[in-house]
Amino acid sequence: MRGQLIFGLLLLGAHFGFSFLNEHGRIINGNLAVAKQFPYQVYYDVLDLTNLEEPIEWQPSCGGTLISKRIILTAAHCFRHPNIYAIKIYFGAVDKSNASEIGQHRLAVKRENVVVHQEYDDNAYNDIALIKLPIDVAFDEYIKPAKLPQPGISYPSEAIASGWGINKVSDDNKPSRDSKLRYFQFQILSHAECKKWKVQDFLVSSRICLAPSQNAPCNGDSGGPLIVSHNGDSVLLGVTSYGYTGKCTDEFPDVYTRVASYLDWIHENAGANNLDE
C-alpha cells in the first residue's frame, strides 16, 4: 500500500440560461475508469468558512488537470465563493473515497495557492484558474501531467472528458453519484456547428462546444479535462465550464474553456520554473 502525501494544513476549530457544473458535486452514462487510465486527472474538496456556526467539513467541489509537477489547471467558477479557505487535492485516484487505494495521493493547500483569471466574470467568460502546488508532485504510473496544446496544430475532433460528478439523473430529476471516476468520448463541434444550436450569445473563440449525446458532463465535473490523443500524448484542449440547461440532458451542447486561448496567461501566472517544457 502506497503512503499518502499530505502537506501542511491544520483544520480550523473543531440562471440566466446556463448552469455551472459543480453545484451538486459525473459524466452522465459514462464508463468507469481504471487505475492509470487518466493519470493527469485530479479532484479537490474545499474547506468553506462561510458558516462558522456549523461544523467545518471538506465539501466536494471540482476536477482539474495536472499539467506539470507544480501546476493544476481548473475552472475559475469553482472559486467564486469568497470564503474558501483551503482545498484538498486527490491525485492518481479512481475511487476517491478509498484512502488506501494504490496510487492515490492527497495534498492540502491554502486558497492563496489558487490564481483565478483576473477577467473572469459571472457570465463564465475567462473561466479558468490554476492551482500552484508548494512542492513537486512525484510522477509515476498513476500520476502524470497532460500536455498543453500547441499553436498552429490541428487536433482531432474526438475528445475524452472525465470526472467525478453526477453520473445519473432519474426521471424525477434526482441526482445519483458515487466515488468512482467516469469518462466518455465526445465530438467537438466547430464554431459554425455550435451556432446552429442557438447558443451563439455565449459562444466565443475562447470556448469549445461539445455535440449533444446520451452522455454529458454534469454537476461536479467542473474544472475537469477535455483531452485528445496526439502523437502518443494526452493534450488538454478544454476545461469543463458549464451546460445550458443545468439538468445534464442531451438537448444542448456543453461548453468548455479553450486552453489554447490562455497559453500566455498560463505561462505568466504559473511562473517560469513551474511548467515542464
Measured between its terminal Cα atoms, the distance across the chain in Å is: 32
pLDDT of residue 175: 46
Per-domain boundaries in the chain? 38-145+263-270, 158-260
| Rounded distance between C-alpha atoms, residue 90 and residue 92, angstroms | 7
Query: Sign of dihedral through CA atoms 185, 189, 193, 198?
Result: positive
pLDDT of residue 249: 55
- Name the grid cell of 87: 482545498
Domain 38-145+263-270 matches domain 158-260 at the CATH topology level = yes
Interstrand relation of 58-66 and 175-176 (parallel, antiparallel or unpaired):
unpaired
Give DSSP secondary structure letters for 137-181: PPP-SS--PPBPP-TT----SEEEEEESS--EE-TT--EE--SB-
Between the alpha carbon of residue 179 and those of residues 3, 74, 123, the distances in Å are 20, 20, 30
223 within 8 A of 42, measured Cβ to Cβ: no
Interstrand relation of 114-116 and 129-132 (parallel, antiparallel or unpaired):
antiparallel
pLDDT of residue 211: 82
Topology given in CATH for the domain delimited by 38-145+263-270 = Thrombin, subunit H (2.40.10)
pLDDT of residue 220: 55
pLDDT of residue 177: 53
| pTM to 2 decimal places | 0.84
pLDDT of residue 201: 55
Residues sharing a CB contact under 8 Å with residue 268, sequence separation 6 or more, in sequence order: none
pLDDT of residue 13: 28
The CATH architecture assigned to 158-260 reads Beta Barrel (2.40)
73 within 8 A of 130, measured Cβ to Cβ: yes
Please tell me the total number of residues recorded for the chain in this structure.
277
pLDDT of residue 225: 95
Mean pLDDT (10-residue bins), the chain, 277 residues: 34 33 44 94 93 87 96 95 94 95 96 96 90 96 97 91 67 57 88 70 78 60 92 95 60 84 96 72
pLDDT of residue 244: 54
